[in-house]
Amino acid sequence: MASLEAGTSTSNTLGGEYQVFLSFRGLDTRYGFTNCLYHALVDAGIRVFIDDEELRPGERISGNLLRAIDDSKLYIPIFSKNYASSHWCLRELAKMVENSSKSKEDGKKVILPIFYDVKPDDVKLKTTLYREAISNLEQKMEDENKKFNSKDVETWRQALEEVDGTKGWELEKYLG
């Protein structure tokens, strides 16, 4: 199997817009489920954006990443245990929700969530998993020189609730 880097964001930029944007927490799914999904889509001839590097503390979401979100037609956020602990993942999600909301009438941008080893209720903030992750980010907001603010956090909460209205797939983590 080809390495994840073989089809990274750089190599897929030729040939126009992306068809699919994968949003995921690398810590949880990069070398397992997300890698398999990415390769299955690429093997089917679908142009997929996958961020090939984890953002490090202090880094900003690149213009390429934002353009890839804008260009894509289908967004696949892969919600996992640590997804909501990443303000980068939540920023991506907020951008996806914003874009899909703008295109509701023509349906040109669609979100198809995957719940990987989490339940939709976790994402809906009905359990402690994502609620605590958001609370921890709010605490960090005060400690990390304002990389994001309370308005950002509220936007992320709204994005999580918005995705709640979209039917997705629930997948249990394979432990075999």
The reply to whether 113 falls in a domain is yes
Helix H or strand E segment including 107: none
Q: Is residue 68 part of a domain?
A: yes
Torsional sign, CA 100, 103, 109, 112? positive
Q: Which domain holds residue 117?
A: 4-171
The Cβ of residue 3 has, within 10 Å, a number of other Cβ atoms equal to 11
For residues 32 and 28, what is the distance between their CA atoms, to the nearest angstrom?
Answer: 8
124-168 pLDDT tens trace: 999 999 999 999 998 887 766 667 888 999 999 999 999 977 889
The number of domains in the chain is 1
Q: Catalytic site residue 59?
A: no
The answer as to whether 101 is a domain residue is: yes
CATH at 18: 3.40.50.10140
* 69, part of any domain: yes
The CA distances from residue 15 to 32, 71, 116, 137, 153, in Å, are 27, 12, 31, 38, 35
pLDDT at 16: 56
Which pLDDT value is given to residue 140?
82
| pLDDT per residue as tens digits for the range 83-101 | 999 999 999 999 999 999 9
- Using an 8 Å Cβ cutoff, are 123 and 100 in contact? no
Burial of 53 (0-12, 13-18, 19+ CB in 10 A): exposed
Among 53, 92, 170, 172, the one annotated catalytic: 92
Whether 41 maps to a domain, the answer reads: yes
- pLDDT for residue 5: 36
For residue 6, is pLDDT > 50?
Answer: no
Is residue 25's pLDDT more than 70?
yes
Residue 15 lies in a domain: yes
Q: Is residue 142 part of a domain?
A: yes
CB 140 within 8 A of CB 103: no
